[in-house]
Structure 1
Amino acid sequence: MKVTVVAGNPKPGSRTLDAAGLVAAAVTGAAADSTVDVIELGAGLLGWGDEKVAAAVETVASSDLVVFASPTFKASYTGVLKLFLDQFATGDGLKDVVVVPLMLGAGPAHAMAPDLLLKPVLVELGATSPAPGLYLIDTTYTTDTRIADYAERWGPILTAAARTRTELS
């Protein structure tokens, strides 16, 4: 099973990236195979045909399970993540990729954002999302039990869906 982490934070090496890696490891029992720190793709995100962006898109599209992570920005996901998602074809760019929508924020006010804002765009691109998204408080995600609780409840469902994709390929 190929697992990838995508972090759409305007800051490279962010807590968002760290949290996404922790979620991937908790859900699957192993570190992600690939990481896409979207901000590192730079100006290539502003158009089409950039080789680094195309390689990142291919990595994500060929994955079985992807954790898509963003900080909460203006009550939504970041523009940098949107630029990356725009690189995928509508309807089948993420065909059958199992996804975990993950967002981090300063407080609980936007706890529904992963399901209300990020999950619909991923599904529009063809992704499968058999579990709810996850919202984490950016100052406590390393000390609270939210990731472990999520992985215990939803990890078996997510990995089973991802393995089904692998078996069908």
Structure 2
Amino acid sequence: MKILGIDGSPHGPGKTAKVVGHVLEGAASQGAAVDLITCGAPDAVNRIAEADAVVFGSPTYRASHSSALRVLLEKIDRDGAKAPLLATPAAVVMTGGSVAHFLGTEDLAGVLRGFFGTQVLAPSLFFHPLHFDSEGNTVPDAIEQCRTHGAALWELTAAVRNSTALKSLKPLV
């Protein structure tokens, strides 16, 4: 099973990449092959199509995901046989400078669930400054939460793989 992590930060690896990496550690502990790329990677859409599940990570800007991640999502087809996210399990992980921005995860989860027809793991994860130490490292409780989420994503992916009904669900548009 392949689980891909996407770092949607427009400024390079930072806190978002760290927490997505911890989610991938949890999936790897269950036996998944994992990889982390930036949303600007030239082969990002192809890598998403090859993945069994995807962790979408983004910093929060104006209570929503980054424009860099939005650009990547706009490149992904959702019609017919070219719909690489249809029925794909996904997790949402976001970082932000204020606790008040936690609802930004719902915006991204809604796009993934409603527009692309993914099976989004709930609840989404949101990390704010108290989840990081003074050097920008993730605190132990947050790391454990990420790893648990990664293990749960692995289990959701296995469930979707083994279910005809879950794989057949499509957005009603």
The one of 128, 131, 145 equivalent to 1:149 is 145
Please report the TM-score for the alignment, with normalisation by the length of structure 1: 0.78
Give the aligned residue type for 1:9: S
1:16 aligns with 16
Q: Which sections of structure 1, spanning at least 5 residues, go unmatched? A: 42-51
Report the Cα offset of residue 130 of structure 1.
3.4
Q: What's the secondary structure of 2:119's corresponding residue?
A: coil
1:44 aligns with none
Give the number of equivalent residue pairs.
154
Give aligned-pair identity as a percent: 25
1:74 aligns with 62
Cα distance change of structure 1 residues 73 and 93 upon mapping to structure 2, 3 Å threshold: same
Distance 1:85 1:32 in 2: 23
Report the Cα offset of residue 6 of structure 1.
0.2
1:113 aligns with 2:104: yes
Distance 2:121 2:15 in 1: 25
2:171 aligns with none
1:86 aligns with 2:56: no
The one of 125, 128, 131 equivalent to 1:134 is 125
Runs of 4+ aligned residues of structure 1 deviating over 6 Å after TM superposition are none
Q: What's the secondary structure of 1:111's corresponding residue?
A: helix
Q: Which sections of structure 2, spanning at least 5 residues, go unmatched? A: 133-137, 168-173
Alpha-carbon contact 2:22-2:146 (below 8 Å) kept: no
Please report the TM-score for the alignment, with normalisation by the length of structure 2: 0.76
Alpha-carbon contact 1:93-1:126 (below 8 Å) kept: no
Cα distance change of structure 1 residues 72 and 140 upon mapping to structure 2, 3 Å threshold: same
Give the aligned residue type for 1:119: A
Report the Cα offset of residue 155 of structure 1.
4.9
Report the Cα offset of residue 120 of structure 1.
1.0
Distance 1:27 1:33 in 2: 7
